[in-house]
Amino acid sequence: MREATKASSSEQAWLYLEAAHVVGQFHIRPHLQTHAHMLGLAWRTRDWSEAAGQVLRLALVPLGHLSGRLPLGNPGRSTVSAFEPLPVRPELAGLIAQARTGRTPAA
- Provide the whole-model pTM: 0.82
In the chain, the largest separation of any two C-alpha atoms, in whole Å, equals 40
List, for residues 67-105, the tens digit of each pLDDT value.
988 888 899 999 999 999 998 888 777 777 776 676 555
List, for residues 25-67, the tens digit of each pLDDT value.
888 999 999 999 999 999 999 999 999 999 999 999 999 999 9
Please enumerate in sequence order all residues whose Cβ is within 8 A of that of 99, keeping only pairs 6 or more positions apart, or say none: 3, 19, 23
